[in-house]
Amino acid sequence: MTAWLRKNRWYFVAIAVLGPLAVLAAMSTDWFGYEQRVNGRPILVAEGDNVDFAGAEWSLDNSFVVSAESQAGRSADLPKNTELVVASVRINPSGVGDVSPSCTIHLKDRDGQRTWDTALGIDVTIDEGASSFCDSTRLDSYLLQVLFLVPEGAGEGSRLIIETAEEAPELLSIAL
């Protein structure tokens, strides 16, 4: 038996090395696909940056946080222990093809662990002429203004995530 093992030892070594390698190689394509679906490929946008993305120029106009305890927060009837993140993004469509990009918008916290959808039913007046969604009919430059209700303190260091079907898995990650 020992002689048989010695005779075939290199085959066993090959199986021990190539087996796990084959499994890793087979799973790696799924892993990269999964990782990209979950996190996308973010294009990081800092304050003051203008970025070309999905047939438009995007830049952060301004952002601020309204605490539930503030006068504005009480007027808006924000729930206890929450705050409202307000972000305004200037979208300047390039005019190519007479379309303006449609998009989905989220807010991620500083660690990228939690994601919030835009808030509905919040009694806050947005800027005149601003849109609360990516308006594919607007071919001129316009302001996108979105609201997010988050737990108290979560707005600090958060990032606005803008995705379009055409550019996926690339997405805009705008620092607020």
Partner 1 sequence: MIRVLVRVVIAVAMLVLASLIFTLAPNDEQTQAPVEIPISIGETGTGRNIEVTVHNIRLAEVVEADGYTPWTGTTPGVWIVVDATMSNVVNSTLPSGFLTFDGLTYFASTRPDSESLVGARLTPGIPTTGTVLFEVPLDVIQTSEPVKITFAASSDLRLDSAIVLSERLDELEIEPAILLEGPETGG
Identity of the residue, 68 or 103, whose beta carbon is nearer to partner 1 in the bound complex: 68
Among residue numbers 128 through 167, which ones bind partner 1 (CB under 8 A)? 149-151, 154
Rounded (5°) CA angle 112-114-30:
65
Q: How far is the CB of 57 from partner 1 (least distance, A)?
A: 29
Q: Report d(CA 130, CA 115) in Å as an integer.
A: 23
Are 144 and 131 in contact by the 8 Å Cβ rule? The answer is yes
Residues 104-133 that bind partner 1 (CB under 8 A): 113-117
CA gap 102, 122 in Å, rounded: 23
79 binds partner 1 (CB under 8 A): yes
Answer whether 30's CB lies under 8 Å from 60's CB.
no
Q: Is residue 45 involved in binding partner 1 (CB under 8 A)?
A: no
Smallest distance, partner 1 to C-beta of residue 40, A:
14
- Please give the residue ranges that form the binding site for partner 1 (CB under 8 A): 68, 78-82, 113-117, 149-151, 154
